Structure formats: C-alpha cells, structure tokens
A and B are shown apart, each in its own frame.
Chain A
C-alpha cells in the first residue's frame, strides 16, 4: 500500500512546457510538457534514497505526482501522459490553465475542427518514503 504524498517527503520539483501545434491535442501537449520537465536532469540521489536494487527497482516507496495545466483539463488522458515517466507510482492531476491561441489551418496537417495551438504546463514532484 502506497502512502499519500502528505506522509512522504519531497525530493524535488521540476517544471516543463509542451506545445501541440497541429491537432489541438491536450494529451500530446501535456505529455511533451512532462517529458521536458524530466528530460533535462538526472536525479542520481534517488538511487540511494529510494534504495534502488540491481534490477533497477526502488525498494522504498517513490511517488511521482504530476500536475498538468491545459486549456481543456477534462480531455487530458492521464494514462497516456504518465507513460512518459519510466518508473515509480504515478498520479496525475489535470487543472485548467496553460494557453490556447489561434493557430494556422493547413489542410495537409490539420483537422479543420481543431485549428488552435495548445500549450500545456507540467509540474513533476518526486516524493520518497524513508520509513
């Protein structure tokens, strides 16, 4: 049984931004935001804090809490976005935010019903349970 984040200690928080230019796909933008948040650093300290074994599995509880802000929070597919994160117990909260702005319609690439540019923001928090 994984503990709630309030009972664990926070290791770090990282931020990212993702854009979907063609297709008005908030899930794609959100996944890119999470990808950016986690791609520019390597939390090497987690190896001994979470006591990761030879198989690469953490032996202490690690919780990865993702908050994604996008213009259509209900349309974000949490499962799809969380695939970006390679391991850990993951959870996602989708809130309203980010940005939607008038895009460009290209017949070759776009759906006519989806002409807008979508920008999503992501905050990824890592919690570890030391007990």
Chain B
C-alpha cells in the first residue's frame, strides 16, 4: 500500500460570541471543504462508496487559541467520510469583540481559527 497525497485544503472560521473554539474550528473545517468537489478520487484513485472509509485518509490540523478546549470529535463530524484524525495546536487569533458579547457570555473576545486539511489515498 502506498499513501498518495491528493489535496491540501485551507479554511478559516470564527465564533463571534462566547469564545467557543470548537464551533469556530467546525466552521474552519466546513470552510475548507465546502467549495470543492473531488471527482478525481473516483476517476483516478479507485475510490468507491464501499471502500472510501478504508482508502481515503483525512488529516485535520487546527490552529486555535485555547487548544485544550477543542472537542476533536465534534470538529471531525463536519467531514462526511474517510479515516479522520485531528491535531490541535496553539495559534489562530483572539480579537476584541462587542460589549454585547461580554454582557451575555462574559467573554471579551471573538476567536478566529485556522484549519488545514490533508487528504491522502491508499493505493495498491
């Protein structure tokens, strides 16, 4: 089995109220995968509906403030298929938000999260 890299996707997501890094990370992943379709997986790499979960490998890297607070499973639920894994590292951005944010949630910042998704396929 040889692992071949197919594509790298980049995305960014925010959570404006509540400093919910999991939500922002989900949006970053969604942003990375949403404007792209990969018929090449079927046309060139022999992926079918039956073997997609064995052949396709999806590695997600998230850069976020408060990396410990990210719920990896919830972030990966954004990706429809493949063998998924996630790595979370310190990064992203905290920026001052509105007074409303502070009054309602007690959080003074909005969060911006970056995502990079590497897609590989196992070929014979």
Interface residues, chain A, with chain B CB atoms under 8 Å away: 9-16, 37, 40-45, 48-49, 126, 128, 130
Contacting pair B7 A12 (CB below 8 A): yes
Chain A residues near B38 (CB-CB < 8 A): 11-12
Bound-complex Cα distance A128 to B6 (A): 14
Contacting pair A42 B35 (CB below 8 A): no
Q: Can you identify 23 A-B contacts, CB atoms within 8 angstroms? A: A9-B40, A10-B39, A11-B39, A12-B38, A12-B39, A12-B40, A13-B37, A13-B39, A14-B35, A14-B36, A14-B37, A15-B36, A16-B35, A40-B10, A40-B32, A41-B7, A41-B8, A41-B9, A44-B5, A45-B5, A45-B7, A45-B121, A49-B44
Contacting pair A11 B40 (CB below 8 A): yes
Chain A residues near B8 (CB-CB < 8 A): 41-42, 44
Bound-complex Cα distance A9 to B120 (A): 19
Chain A residues near B40 (CB-CB < 8 A): 9-12, 45, 49, 126, 128
Sample of 20 more A-B contacts, CB < 8 Å, known A41-B10, A44-B7, A48-B4: A9-B40, A9-B44, A10-B39, A10-B40, A11-B38, A11-B39, A12-B38, A12-B39, A16-B35, A37-B35, A40-B10, A40-B32, A41-B32, A41-B36, A43-B7, A45-B5, A45-B40, A45-B45, A45-B121, A49-B40
Bound-complex Cα distance A81 to B23 (A): 36
Chain A residues near B7 (CB-CB < 8 A): 12, 41-45
Question: Interface SS of chain B: helix, strand, loop or mixed?
Answer: strand
Question: In chain B between 1 and 60, which residues have their CB closer than 8 angstroms to a CB of chain A?
Answer: 4-11, 32, 35-40, 43-45
Contacting pair B6 A44 (CB below 8 A): yes
Output the nearest chain A residue to B5 by Cβ-Cβ distance.
Answer: A44
Bound-complex Cα distance A37 to B4 (A): 23
Bound-complex Cα distance A11 to B9 (A): 15
Bound-complex Cα distance A13 to B36 (A): 6
Bound-complex Cα distance A14 to B35 (A): 6
Output the nearest chain B residue to A44 by Cβ-Cβ distance.
Answer: B5
Contacting pair A45 B39 (CB below 8 A): no
Contacting pair B43 A11 (CB below 8 A): yes
